[in-house]
Amino acid sequence: MPPLRLVPLSLVDACAFVADWHRHHGPPVGHKFSMGVAADSVLVGVAIIGRPVARHLDTGTTLEVTRVATDGTPNAGSMLYAAAWRASRALGYRRLITYTQTGESGASLRAARWRIVAERPPRPGWTTPSRPRRLRGNEHVQRYLWEAAP
């Protein structure tokens, strides 16, 4: 297998990859930056990093990895998580977070030296009377909040 290398990526290209490869979410709406991992000239994984989705975590010094998707190439996910933290720190951010669902192993995150900092209980969904939302199939799923090791 050819060696993996990081490549710059536009949001459009990252979202197209997520649409093809992510297991349970579609592409996000925006980002601060995106990156990819390529083997030779073939894109094998992407990471999209943006502002935290949870308002109370949006401190101005925290970013969130909102999507990571790979085609299954070994080490691509951990390479993306580690590079996302290095890039975030280089931009002056002090914290980088992400979430996984209980059915996901978190192996790529552990390999990149991230740690679980909180468990989030299952929610019935994100819809409220004042702001109805479409069901996306990830309701009633417990999640883990991960943080990149400083």
Where are the domains positioned within the chain? 4-148
The pLDDT > 70 percentage for the chain reads 88
Q: Cβ distance 64 to 50 under 8 Å?
A: yes
* Mean model confidence pLDDT for the chain: 89
- CATH T-level topology, domain 4-148: Aminopeptidase (3.40.630)
Q: How confident is the model at residue 62 (pLDDT cuts 50, 70, 90)?
A: very high
Q: How many CB atoms lie within 10 A of CB 47?
A: 29
**Span of 17-26, 79-88, 94-103 with lowest mean pLDDT:** 17-26
144 or 26, greater pLDDT: 144
For residue 64, pLDDT beyond 90: yes
pLDDT at 77: 96
Q: Cβ distance 106 to 146 under 8 Å?
A: yes
The pLDDT > 90 percentage for the chain reads 67
**Structure pTM?**
0.88
Which helix (H) or strand (E) is 108 found in, with range? helix 107-111
- Once rounded to an integer, what is the mean pLDDT over residues 70-82? 96
For residue 114, pLDDT beyond 90: yes
Q: Would you say how long the chain is, in residues?
A: 150
pLDDT at 121: 79
Nearest alpha-carbon partner for 79 in 18, 3, 26: 3
